Amino acid sequence: MDLQDVKALYHRPLLDLIFEAAGLHREHHTHNEMQMCTLLSIKTGGCVEDCKYCSQSIHNNAELEKETLLKTDEVLEQARAAKEAGSTRFCMGAAWRDVKDGRGFDRVLDMVKGVSDMGMEACCTLGMLTEDQAVKLKEAGLTAYNHNLDTSEEYYDKVITTRTYQDRLDTIENVAKAGISLCCGGILGMGESTGDRIALLHRLSNLDPQPESVPINMLVPVEGTPLEDTEALDIFEWIRCIAVARILMPKAMVRLSAGRLTISREAQALAFMAGANAIFTGEKLLTTPNPEKDEDYNLLEVLGLKPRPPYKGEKQKAA
């Protein structure tokens, strides 16, 4: 769909959007299933990028305990615990600008292999990646790689100046060339305009192939970052974006990522109706808090949703 069409879609009445999104969700997915994923920060803080939202950038002043790259055993222990708690996808995040070949990367490859051998979907987000590195991750058993566009190309340099939009697109291309599923989305509520949100959704849906998973992050305004005082985005605008994402990318997993802690159960329920079908569980995302496990399971139960089994091997699950 071209930008003008996405714009027209975006401005349709909200309930019409939710209705259409819900229909497409039911057509392409088992609509009462929720994918539960767990995140682990395998290397925390000290990142040289200047992403203005991020607690882990050396350019910001967020209070944070820095950590060097975790040991493989520690990571696999956490993956096992996540599996026991019902997670089927385990995502490892590192505060790196890009991946450097060497011992650190070799250790990450061991982690990926270990998680994959446990029967979980293994996912990583490690910053920029070359094609060769992407191939190595694929061979180690990686299911998906997360690398976000974050916002529109126009708004991008208000948020990050140390790498370009094109750098991001290059990594995304390297991931696709290696045959790894792409997890690619953005952040809402960074002070961007409606037009920026439309442009982001347009860009995401025109990636070829489309992302297998689309994380929709709501800005977590971390103290000590330049975005700490950003005014919260209207929750219906967030739901509108989720519905548009579902309509534009009917086969993707639409993943409610950062920001759920401050979003009401009712708004989350509406987001699920609008096609969101994956959440991050566990009390922490990478560095910021997330709803308690019991709260999430309670919400699923109330809504009649059940955790979705892992789908390693097949790209898309039959509805």
C-alpha closest to that of 3 among 193, 201, 189, 213: 201
Q: Is 184 a catalytic residue?
A: no
Q: How far is the CB of 39 from ligand SF4 (least distance, A)?
A: 13
The interface region with ligand SF4, picked from 45-53, 100-108, 137-145, 201-209 by CB under 6 A, is 45-53
Contact 280, 39 (CB under 8 A): yes
Considering the complex, state which of residue 221 and residue 250 has its C-beta at the smaller distance from ligand SF4.
221
List alpha helices for the chain, DSSP H: 3-10, 14-28, 72-84, 103-117, 131-140, 153-159, 165-177, 194-205, 235-248, 265-273, 293-303
Among 90, 96, 155, 165, binds ligand SAM (CB under 6 A): 96
By CB neighbour count within 10 A (0-12 exposed, 13-18 middle, 19+ buried), where does 310 fall?
A: middle
Q: Which of 37, 124, 183, 241 is catalytic?
A: 183
Give the other-Cβ count within 10 Å of 2's Cβ.
8
* From the list ligand SAM, ligand SF4, ligand DTB, none, partner contacted by residue 39 (C-beta under 5 to 8 A by kind): ligand DTB
List alpha helices for 213-255, DSSP H: 235-248
Q: Is 241 a catalytic residue?
A: no
Among 258, 273, 276, 305, binds ligand DTB (CB under 6 A): 258
Rounded to whole angstroms, the Cα distance separating 53 from 183 reads 19
Told to check if 148 binds ligand SAM by CB under 6 A, we report: yes
Told to check if 280 binds ligand SAM by CB under 6 A, we report: no
Tokens of 135: 């191939």
Rounded to whole angstroms, the Cα distance separating 95 from 70 reads 12
Q: Is 91 a catalytic residue?
A: yes
Among 45, 93, 221, 226, binds ligand DTB (CB under 6 A): 93
Written as one letter, the residue type at 155 is Y
Told to check if 147 binds ligand SAM by CB under 6 A, we report: yes
Told to check if 126 binds ligand DTB by CB under 6 A, we report: no
Told to check if 143 binds ligand DTB by CB under 6 A, we report: no
Q: Judged by CB under 6 A, how many residues of this single chain contact ligand DTB?
A: 17
- Which sequence positions are flagged as catalytic? 47, 51, 54, 91, 123, 183, 255
